Structure 1
Amino acid sequence: MIFAPSALSPGEEALREEVRSFLAAILPADFRPGLGLGGRHDPEFTRVLAEQGWVGMSIPVEYGGAGASTVRRFVVVEELLAAGAPIAAHWIAERQTAPALLRFGTEEQRRWFLPRIAAGECWFSLGMSEPDAGSDLASVRTTATRVDGGWRVTGTKVWTTNAHLNHFAVVLCRTTPEAEAGDRHAGLSQLIVDLGADGVRVSPIPLIDGEEHVNEVVLDGVFVPDERVLGEVGKGWAQVTAELAHERSGPDRYLSVLGVYRAFLEVCHDSADDVDDTTAAAIGRIGAQMWTIRQLSLAVARSLEQGEAPAVEAALVKDVGTTFEQQVVETLRDAAGGEIDPEGPTMFERLLAECVLNAPTWTLRGGTTEVLRGIAAKALTR
């Protein structure tokens, strides 16, 4: 695994300042930041962001995008996450679906979907996880059966973020029975499913904090035309593996805790005389670790920019990043002492309470810690 040291160019730094100024102007003074991917689903914010050319940045100009580099997109995403901006409407489409369409999609698919994604008008979910399958994607039971003009899809997906609000989902399903394919990783395909189609039933899954942004999606004989097959039939496993390099290595894998960390620093600043050496050391440790992980993530972005597919490096970044996030929550929880009031008087208390409830999911989404370490270990022992 190679993580080449990298720094931002003057132009990339200038872009950072531009985005930071934009967010300071558009987000209200009493704005409560989201925790990384916990930003709200806000179509109006997505539309305004798209007008700046900051949605689907890496989409080529011919398809309605800005044709920007992977690292310039990294800079914008980093600032959006640092501010806790409401990015959920466009997030999956922009981060994952657009690169997948560019790499595996047909020209017709690119012409139809990409301009809508870049305009912030077309929102996607991921149809991967299933009941009883966990992070073992090769165990998917959702099937697609060949019919005249397309496929009939039957199965259930779970933890499908914002499926009750989004327009489409890229669904991983089995198009060839495992016994016939001869390999559990063979015979899988990706289909673009219209979430408003007949046979689709979306049911929110209430979380421990009362939020309802993940869903169970039941597909009951849903028809998907041939022109909505993404990539090559039977090559879904290879496509998903390549796609996960975009999902696992970005700033969202270590910036979920930045908002609560900043809020804690404000509390410490207001009571500087009461900050002991242990707390001061913890503050420094968090900052140093976050910067180190950020350098790893930037190295992967540079690699993607050069047309490489650093799937193993991305897996390591995700593992290190989400493990770090959980450790930060526990460190800040210890520093806070006592009970945490989710409706407390300080932003720090409110955000920390939200973190405590949500942090256990961070090492699950995008691949569990065990799966990611297995990927890294196999690469290191070759």
Structure 2
Amino acid sequence: MTATIDLAAHRPGDSELRLRDEVRQFLDDQRAAGAFRPRSDAWMSAADPAFSRRLGARGWLGMTLPTRYGGHDRSPLERFAVVEELLAAGAPVAAHWIADRQMAPSVLRNGTEEQRRRYLPGIARGECFFAIGMSEPDAGSDLAAVRTRAREADGGWEITGTKLWTTGAHFAHAIVLLARTDGAPGDRHNGLSQFVVDLPHPAVHVRPITTIDGEHHFNEVVLDHAVVPAGALLGERGAGWRQVVAELAHERSGPERFLSTAPLLETWSSELRLTDPVAAREVGRLTARAWTLRQLSLAVAAALAAGRSPEVAAALVKDLGSRFEGDVVETVRRLAGIEPRPGADGLAGLLADAIPHTPAFTLRGGTNEILRSVVARGLGVR
């Protein structure tokens, strides 16, 4: 891992600093206008299509895409700066998150020219949202155990199976599925393919999963002999596992893996009394951990920009970052001395948002146990 990831501190240039200032001013104006209330875990739980369209109009979605596909030819580090500011503000970015974070790079890399022109401009405008169909009942984080099957039929494909914990499928315009096209489940990584299925679809049934806080972010997606055109195949037939692994480097390494609870930590630290040395010490420890995670995440972004696929480092970011996010919630709950109040402004509301989401931090994007096995194998540990 150290041979391919440069952990040297990133020094932002003038253009990046100006970009951050622009984003911060925009967010200040949006908050002042009542456009959003900062939330913990906003990238997962706060979907606002109108807000996403406003970001698209400013050129802050599809930033790294080529201009010929509606993008802006910006660098991954410039995109990192925008994403970091949005997360730190607790802005409602969940509607476009999956499309912008990983499906745009995947369609650009693996898609046909028709798929690129169909989906990428809409992603960049904040008008095309995606869901990901990976996890399945009884499969968990073991993606190679998927049982969804795609068979060739009438010049296209017929897909049957069930996907679980599918974030945002109820408002997505398309879902990218991992399905077995060849061989048997015992073949593991061989014979898997990806498909882009437009939504709504008459044979694709999206059923809500309501979480403990009464909110609806997750879904069960049932494909009942859903027929899709031949052009729905994304990339090469049988290359789905390789394509998914490349996607996961984007999914697991971004600043959302350690900034989900940043609004909570920032608000708590700003309200902290200097006479509380225990709390001040904990703020210092958490801030130091956040800074370290940021440097590792930036290094992965730089590696992706250079055309590498740093799966091991990305898994490490997600493992360390998700544990950090949970520690932020537990520390604030233990030391802040306030009662969480759902829907409230300030610290009480942010804490109420974060507490029921904490168990998901170490599950989504692969459980921490799976991630540690990825890191161990990457480092040659047996």
TM-score (normalised: structure 2):
0.95
Task: Give the one of 155, 164, 172 matched to 1:149.
Answer: 155
Report the equivalent of 2:339: 340
Tell me if 1:376 matches 2:375.
yes
Specify the code of the residue in structure 2 equivalent to 1:201. H
SS at match of 1:172: strand
* Larger CA deviation: 293-302 vs 24-33: 24-33
Report the equivalent of 1:349: 348
Q: How does 1:180-329 map to 2 (within 5 A)?
A: 183-268=187-272, 272=273, 275-329=275-329
* Larger CA deviation: 105-114 vs 230-239: 105-114
Report the equivalent of 1:33: 38
Percentage of matched positions with identical amino acids:
54
Superposed displacement of residue 340, structure 1: 2.8
Task: Give the one of 102, 108, 111 matched to 1:102.
Answer: 108
Contact between 2:47 and 2:95, CA under 8 Å: does it hold in 1?
A: yes
Superposed displacement of residue 353, structure 1: 2.1
Specify the code of the residue in structure 1 equivalent to 2:219. N
Q: Show CA shifts across 1:238-265 (max 9, x none).
A: 0000010000000100001111112212
What stretches of structure 2 of length at least 5 have no aligned partner? none
Label 1:371 to 1:345 Cα distance change in 2 as closer, same or farther (>3 A): closer
Task: Give the one of 163, 166, 170 matched to 2:172.
Answer: 166
Tell me if 1:46 matches 2:45.
no
Tell me, in whole angstroms, the C-alpha distance in 2 between the residues paired with 1:343 and 1:73: 32
Report the equivalent of 1:57: 63
SS at match of 2:197: strand
Specify the code of the residue in structure 2 equivalent to 1:280. A
Q: Show CA shifts across 1:114-160 (max 9, x none).
A: 11111111110000111111000001111111112111011111111
> Which stretches of structure 1, 4 residues or longer, exceed 6 Å deviation after superposition?
none
Superposed displacement of residue 96, structure 1: 0.7
Tell me, in whole angstroms, the C-alpha distance in 1 between the residues paired with 2:148 and 2:343: 44
Contact between 1:39 and 1:85, CA under 8 Å: does it hold in 2?
A: no
Task: Give the one of 50, 59, 73 matched to 1:67.
Answer: 73
What stretches of structure 1 of length at least 5 have no aligned partner? none
SS at match of 2:187: coil
Tell me if 1:362 matches 2:361.
yes
Contact between 2:56 and 2:125, CA under 8 Å: does it hold in 1?
A: yes
SS at match of 1:254: helix
Contact between 1:156 and 1:218, CA under 8 Å: does it hold in 2?
A: yes
Specify the code of the residue in structure 2 equivalent to 1:35. S
Label 1:10 to 1:194 Cα distance change in 2 as closer, same or farther (>3 A): same
SS at match of 1:340: coil
Superposed displacement of residue 344, structure 1: 8.3
Specify the code of the residue in structure 1 equivalent to 2:134. M
Q: Show CA shifts across 1:206-258 (max 9, x none).
A: 10011011111111011111111100011100000001000000010000111
SS at match of 2:95: coil
Contact between 1:39 and 1:84, CA under 8 Å: does it hold in 2?
A: no
Superposed displacement of residue 183, structure 1: 2.6
Tell me, in whole angstroms, the C-alpha distance in 1 between the residues paired with 2:314 and 2:165: 22
- Aligned-residue CA RMSD in angstroms? 1.6
SS at match of 1:145: strand
